[in-house]
Structure 1
Amino acid sequence: MRKKKLSATQKRLLCAFIGSSLFWHTPVLGYGEESPEAVPATGHTTEEKVAKDSGQYEFNLEGIEVTAKRLRTTSPIYAGGQVARESNLGVLGNRDFMDTPFSITSYTSQAIEDRQASTLQDILRSDSSVRFGTSDGHIMENFTIRGLTVNNEYIYFNGMAGLAPQGRVPLEFVDRVEVLKGPAALLYGGVNASVGGAINLVPKRAAEEDFTTLTTDYTSQTQLGGHIDISRRFGEDKELGVRFNGVYKDGETEIDDQSKKRLLGSLAIDYTKDKWRTTLDAYGSQESYDNGSVSMYNFYQNSTTKQYSYSDAPDGSTNLLKGAYGTLRNNAFLFKTEYDLQDNITAYASIGKLASTSTGYITGNHIRSLKSDGTATINLYNQYLWTDTTSADFSIRANYQTGSVKHQLNLGYNQTDTDSASTYNSITGIQTNLYNPTSLASYYSLLSTPSRPNKTSETNLSSLFFGDTLSFDKAKTELTLGLRKQNVETYSYALNTGALTSSYESDATTPVIGLVVKPWGDSVSLYANYIEALSPGTVVSNTSYSNYGQVLAPYRTKQQEVGVKWDQGKFANTLAFFQINKPNSLVENSVQSYDGEQRHEGVEWNTFGNVSEHVRLLGGITYLDAKVTRAASNQGKVPYGTPRWLMNAGAEWDTPWNRDLTLSLLAVYTGTQYADSGNTVKLPSSVRFDLGARYKTTVDHTPVTFRANVENIFNKHYWSGAFSDGYVTLGGPRTFKLSATWNL
């Protein structure tokens, strides 16, 4: 097992982490506070209520009434605290879920904390439309939404493409995790192959009231850690906000003999002055593992004829890669500003940059050709991967009225430029056995980590968006129409010489249409949408094809969706009917193209909120009917990794004998699914249960919340899904989590 000492940088970060907790706990002197509002004798007027609900604050200066627009620190929370009312729809701005012509769920920081979620996979386990494309606990996390892939590099950060942490996303600095189902690149900008949906991370902001919280936690086997969260506001009107989050965790995990270390530091600053509002978010994260990793598994018995043989799932703690190691580092910043040109016109501008580096045994180290007797082979890849992304946008939003019709006009431009490279040293075909693993020490000694490679890929994405939301009949009907003109430029370079080997440029225009109708008041919304997503074409790499070396044109994925949303005030239901048509690679007459197609049709039901004063629900059921509708072979087959039935049901109960004690249960059901495109191997259905409890109390006049969670309480061994043809993912083992959060 490789033993590592703290680097000088890590030591300084740890000292800053501890020191800042002492400094920030010191009371801040010398800032003014807003005077308490006088209560009018006749109560609040309608105009006053609208101003407060819209994030405006009114106060008087020597008889002169002044209204200042304060940057909203968080989205309004729905009853129960687990889901936010609003979500960021990219160029369309923040929208209440009842005013949104899409299926979207926004998970709150409270839900994240109560589940003791440290990564996206932990919190998205509550969503029936989401499953995972990597085994539980892997250093890389990929997802599927509505049965279609959403890779981690296509996660958005505060509505911007290319700036979210790559690998595994830490959640301690995230206020909301927003999940939009269906193709969404048109809304957020960018061109990507992840067409199942979009995941947007909204960073934490300084709250109106100052606070400091310290969380200490334990995760089995011996993972210990701490998280400090500091929120402060400064200035006479508290116009400057600062939020700091710091995390340090280290120790052995539930994966046999594996250890992990995780570091996070984030700073969020917001400032409001008259008509100007601006934010700056910066973070640095590092995750490293030592002495092995969980794996993905391959059922191939003959890669030429694509013959498969099913094997039962091993224990989720199985570690066949003992001795492997890897490190992921992410550093990023995002600067956003907005200015009110007029009362009804606001200009927005943003720029950000991400630098991500991964070294060690990161991807591709799968267990291959697994047989029922446990025999298999391993390919080892010691890698160096890096990505540098710059993302920027500029937009203008205007509100105006023509006759009885209100308009919200949006015009925006965005640009995302990405440079990247990858290289590796490898050994393939190592014989092993699931029940008697081969020692890999001698192989690791032959594989050094490569040095940082020269740039091998460059992608420049730019787009122009125009949209208008028309509101009729006192907002009972809203129609959104939009177009995005997208341009794609890709360049490939030789690894050793840096010479340009291929390039490609293309453009396309994609539409969005959204409709929301409220025929019976604000409690019921009927909605529909049509949206297209543009995905980049790939280079034909098979030398036997007659169009070898050709860069295929970008392809379009199309979605039609209708649904209904019902808000009872404290409990809400949403129901969606959707169809997604996605082009697939097709080879005919030795020519590769995107003329193939698969179709995903389905129904989603989601529910959240309080069913009674002390009982909360969060979950849903998804029915998915996926088919390959056009192909040279496998036409009419079910795409791998697309279960027909999925269910996630979570409940919380405040116990009657002590309302400060809350018990929770989460059940996750995944129906049968095929592991291969030929539908020869079917994975059995699975159900796993998670239990939780939390208790709020006071210790020495300090509010404390104790939490305990057990994931996969029956330690079920199961295949959780399929992420590639013949490759399956493994569900995690039983895991215990304990924490205490102190409000200092």
Structure 2
Amino acid sequence: MISSKKKYLTMAILSAISSMSFMASVSAEEVTDSNLENYDLENVVIEEKVEDNNSNNVNTNNSILSGEFVKTESSLGILGDKKVMDTPFTQMDLTKKTIETFGGPNQPLQSILINNPAVRIQGTNLHNDFSIRGIRGNGTSSYLNGIPGLMSQFNAPTFFIEDIQFISGPNSGITSLPATYESSAAGGIVNFVSKKATDIPITNYRQTFSGKGSLGEYLDISRRLGKDNEWGIRVNTEWLNGETAISDNDMEARGIYINVDHQDEKSKSNFLAGYRRLNIEGGARWFSLDSKAIGKDITKIPNAPDANKNYGINGLAKEAFGYVLALNHEQQMNDDWKWFFNAGLNKNKLERNIIGKGSNFVITNDKGDVKTPLMSTQTDTKNYYAQFGVNGKIESGDIEHDLTLAYDRAWRSIGSAKDNYNGKMGSIVGNIYDGLYGENVWFPEIETGTSSKDRYWGISLVDNLKYKKSQLLLGIHKHNSIATNYNNKTGETKQKVSTDEICPTYGYVYQPDEHISVYASHSENFDKGTIVGSGYKNTGDILAPAKTKQNEIGVKYQNAGFLTTLSTFNIKQANNIDVNKGEDLYYLQDGEQEYKGIELSFNGKLADKWNFMGGLMYLDATQNKTKDGINNGKTVNGVARWNGIAALEYNPDDKFSIIGRAIYTGSADMYNEQLKAPSYMTYDLGFSYKTQFKDTPVTISAMCYNLTNKDYWTAYGNNLILNNPRTFMLSATFDI
């Protein structure tokens, strides 16, 4: 199916290259990369260019920390660009170097995100699921250039991404509407920032080989033109095809993203347009355990099977395509005040999704036997977003106020399969050690219909007060939503819920000197509210949006090219549970889970030739309120107490580097402490070398993921995810 789009994609790429060739002939003065980022676009600053042997690695951003894995300044929602030392939250910004070093073509997105110690891998090549501080999230709970709802849940691309920004913990107060308007963003905010045109022209061609036979080709072209280089264009393309490290798991991807920015004395604008089609055959890695067999036929977590095997049959696949548009604009009104506008849309269609019922395969006993009905679904998602706001500074004596007022609206509609044919398409049977096969399998045609439409609007007011060595952040966000569910076969309205909620944010920062920052904060997040379904005494009632609240205290230290953050946090997340009242069963917002932890991260230069990145998180996740109190005090399912990451790079000279990484995930309780998924540690090892072919600079890189080829499970709630096997990746980047 992908091949039918090749002609149009090729025409788009050739058109972009032609445009680049034309712009290369335009003479203009060099200016620095404006780095137009999320919401508040950073000021243009002329800086000395620091260049290495490969001109693509020009560093004109003095916010990049020594070692070049993280930045010390990034966007903080509607507050705009803020230095890490000035914010009352745990904040991290992973750079392009981190993305390119750990983001192999066939690696899941989590291979990059895991460099933040608050993040835990919980996804595969098929899905971008992860957790932050123990709370689940995925691609759709992320942001793109500060705009919610534009990233995909399925194998989100990173070839057009410049850096990835994190704010740990719930924080609707500074990000306005949540990305998916549900609680999946409650663990933290992830913002992907697209590549912008640089002051020095770039024409890069990259070839990759990974897995058993996956070939990739990537173009990265950047030019600035016009008076004072005020216009910039950056084009990134992808062509990927072949077998991953998982046997018979084929992946095809075609994509093009074009970023255009403009800057002058009074305004900054950025426009991103992108299209991508993805087809993954096989590669299923999700399993669950038959809950009725726990304590009987299932007495332990079965040993992880061979990760090289493909646990799917011919025809099991996921195919999706979609496009995004994102616009950021900022207009200076005077020296102190400006207004900004952000808007975006995303249309994404999952047009083929054939997998086990519930998206996993069910293990029925200790031997590893499997029997699961098949399902086939489609999803058609449309997201629209618009935001308008003003920002300005007011001085009151020795106190400086940095005020932001923003209003935003969002629209979201989902179309789903009219019949997913659960149990009607045959089954997957077999054994996880001997192999799985299909039984009475057939693949029906799927029709879709609108299943839900949601509307959201909100208003945010934030004041960041500065007084000598102290900063006080005060913010409030008012949220309204109307969520409507439809019978996707008839189009009739099934349920409609209207809710509103207020979320405050406040924090305090004290900096006794330029190297130390001590902070404390409170932040919140909420979902869209719930209509009680059938089977309950209170069927049809509207439950208020469930809130997630966090209190955090921390200290940050930055000196001599090194940044360390140590924080302790407490998160309480409300949820809905079944409640028995006499002989009647109610569905009420009476549940609660609590996440208490300590998080440590450190990044920068250890010595002249040694760069380091790493961190550690201890997390105590507890079920405080459960149905009839049966599981009160037990661990939240699938949450490990310990996570750790350490990456060390050695640069013997300016051409050669060696990098190694170790990732540790502790054991995790499942099924309310009846079973336990074991801990595991994995290692990655790679190198890069800069050379020249005639007059063309070339960077040759190699990486081996899961160096020891360890087989292991990752717990995801009460599900088990089988890891990717050892994967080799080779690449050559030509700076033309």
Paired with 2:506 and 2:436, the residues of 1 have a C-alpha distance of 56
Q: Secondary structure at the residue paired with 1:32?
A: coil
Residue number in structure 2 paired with 1:721? 715
Q: 2:156 aligns with which of 169, 194, 215?
A: 169
Are 1:217 and 2:204 matched, yes or no? Answer: no
Equivalent residues in 2 for 1:124-523 (5 A)? 124-134=113-123, 136-137=124-125, 139-190=126-177, 191-194=181-184, 195-290=186-281, 292-302=282-292, 308-309=298-299, 310-323=301-314, 324-361=316-353, 364-423=358-417, 424-427=420-423, 430-440=428-438, 442-443=440-441, 446-451=442-447, 453-473=448-468, 476-519=469-512, 521-523=513-515
Deviations 1:228-278 (A, max 9, x none): 000000112000000000010000111221211011100000112331221
Paired with 1:429 and 1:21, the residues of 2 have a C-alpha distance of 48
CA apart distance, 1:330: 2.0
Paired with 1:487 and 1:301, the residues of 2 have a C-alpha distance of 38
Q: 2:574 aligns with which of 572, 575, 583?
A: 583
Q: 2:110 aligns with which of 115, 121, 124?
A: 121
Aligned residues: 696
Paired with 2:156 and 2:209, the residues of 1 have a C-alpha distance of 19
Paired with 1:510 and 1:368, the residues of 2 have a C-alpha distance of 40
For 2:694, the aligned partner's letter is D
* Cα distance change, pair 493–176 in 1 and its aligned pair in 2 (3 A): same
Residue number in structure 1 paired with 2:51? none
Paired with 1:506 and 1:75, the residues of 2 have a C-alpha distance of 44
Paired with 1:401 and 1:627, the residues of 2 have a C-alpha distance of 45
Q: Secondary structure at the residue paired with 2:304?
A: coil
Deviations 1:648-681 (A, max 9, x none): 11110113xx5422111110001111122x2100
Residue number in structure 1 paired with 2:36? none
Residue number in structure 1 paired with 2:681? 687
Equivalent residues in 2 for 1:643-654 (5 A)? 643-654=640-651
Residue number in structure 2 paired with 1:102? 89
Paired with 2:162 and 2:410, the residues of 1 have a C-alpha distance of 24
Are 1:634 and 2:621 matched, yes or no? Answer: no
Q: Is the 8 A contact 2:129 2:153 kept in 1?
A: no
Q: 1:112 aligns with which of 74, 78, 99?
A: 99
Unaligned 5+ residue runs, structure 1?
37-52, 59-71
Name the TM-score, length of structure 1 as normaliser: 0.90
Deviations 1:562-582 (A, max 9, x none): 000000131111001000000
Moved more, 347-356 or 106-115: 106-115
* Cα distance change, pair 345–390 in 1 and its aligned pair in 2 (3 A): same
* Cα distance change, pair 303–352 in 1 and its aligned pair in 2 (3 A): farther
CA apart distance, 1:349: 0.7
CA apart distance, 1:93: 0.9
Residue number in structure 1 paired with 2:526? 534
Moved more, 81-90 or 510-519: 81-90
* Cα distance change, pair 34–690 in 1 and its aligned pair in 2 (3 A): closer
Deviations 1:369-398 (A, max 9, x none): 342222111232211101101001001001
- RMSD across aligned positions (CA): 2.2
For 1:439, the aligned partner's letter is Y
Paired with 1:426 and 1:532, the residues of 2 have a C-alpha distance of 38
Flag as ranges the 4+ runs of structure 1 deviating above 4 A: 18-23, 72-75, 303-308
* Cα distance change, pair 111–169 in 1 and its aligned pair in 2 (3 A): same
For 2:648, the aligned partner's letter is A
Paired with 1:35 and 1:560, the residues of 2 have a C-alpha distance of 42
Paired with 1:216 and 1:322, the residues of 2 have a C-alpha distance of 30
Paired with 1:174 and 1:200, the residues of 2 have a C-alpha distance of 10
Equivalent residues in 2 for 1:658-673 (5 A)? 658-673=653-668
Paired with 1:307 and 1:466, the residues of 2 have a C-alpha distance of 56
Paired with 1:482 and 1:216, the residues of 2 have a C-alpha distance of 47
Paired with 2:89 and 2:25, the residues of 1 have a C-alpha distance of 47
Deviations 1:674-720 (A, max 9, x none): 122x2100011100001011111112121111110000011101012
For 2:446, the aligned partner's letter is P
Paired with 1:506 and 1:411, the residues of 2 have a C-alpha distance of 22
CA apart distance, 1:89: 1.2
* Cα distance change, pair 5–488 in 1 and its aligned pair in 2 (3 A): closer
Q: Is the 8 A contact 2:297 2:364 kept in 1?
A: no
Moved more, 543-552 or 521-530: 543-552
CA apart distance, 1:728: 1.3
Equivalent residues in 2 for 1:583-602 (5 A)? 583-589=574-580, 590-602=585-597
* Cα distance change, pair 144–339 in 1 and its aligned pair in 2 (3 A): same
Q: Is the 8 A contact 1:366 1:379 kept in 2?
A: no
Q: Is the 8 A contact 2:285 2:723 kept in 1?
A: no
Paired with 1:597 and 1:373, the residues of 2 have a C-alpha distance of 35
Residue number in structure 1 paired with 2:614? 619
For 1:599, the aligned partner's letter is E
Paired with 1:472 and 1:344, the residues of 2 have a C-alpha distance of 18
For 2:505, the aligned partner's letter is V
Q: Is the 8 A contact 1:264 1:286 kept in 2?
A: yes
Q: Secondary structure at the residue paired with 2:531?
A: coil
CA apart distance, 1:561: 0.1
Q: Is the 8 A contact 2:114 2:121 kept in 1?
A: no
Q: Secondary structure at the residue paired with 2:228?
A: coil
CA apart distance, 1:548: 2.7
Q: 1:740 aligns with which of 715, 732, 736?
A: 732
* Cα distance change, pair 205–25 in 1 and its aligned pair in 2 (3 A): same
* Cα distance change, pair 455–401 in 1 and its aligned pair in 2 (3 A): same
Unaligned 5+ residue runs, structure 2?
33-41, 48-58
* Cα distance change, pair 670–30 in 1 and its aligned pair in 2 (3 A): closer
CA apart distance, 1:22: 6.8
Paired with 2:116 and 2:714, the residues of 1 have a C-alpha distance of 15
Q: Secondary structure at the residue paired with 1:425?
A: coil
Name the TM-score, length of structure 2 as normaliser: 0.91
Q: Is the 8 A contact 2:167 2:189 kept in 1?
A: yes
Q: Is the 8 A contact 1:557 1:582 kept in 2?
A: yes
Paired with 1:441 and 1:741, the residues of 2 have a C-alpha distance of 46
Deviations 1:507-544 (A, max 9, x none): 1111000111101x111100111011111233333x43
Residue number in structure 1 paired with 2:35? none
Paired with 2:445 and 2:515, the residues of 1 have a C-alpha distance of 58
Residue number in structure 2 paired with 1:92? 79
CA apart distance, 1:205: 0.5
Residue number in structure 2 paired with 1:66? none
Residue number in structure 2 paired with 1:563? 554
Q: Is the 8 A contact 1:160 1:188 kept in 2?
A: no
* Cα distance change, pair 369–546 in 1 and its aligned pair in 2 (3 A): farther
Q: Is the 8 A contact 1:185 1:192 kept in 2?
A: no
Q: Identity percentage over the alignment?
A: 28
Q: Secondary structure at the residue paired with 1:164?
A: coil
Q: Is the 8 A contact 1:378 1:432 kept in 2?
A: no
* Cα distance change, pair 133–539 in 1 and its aligned pair in 2 (3 A): farther
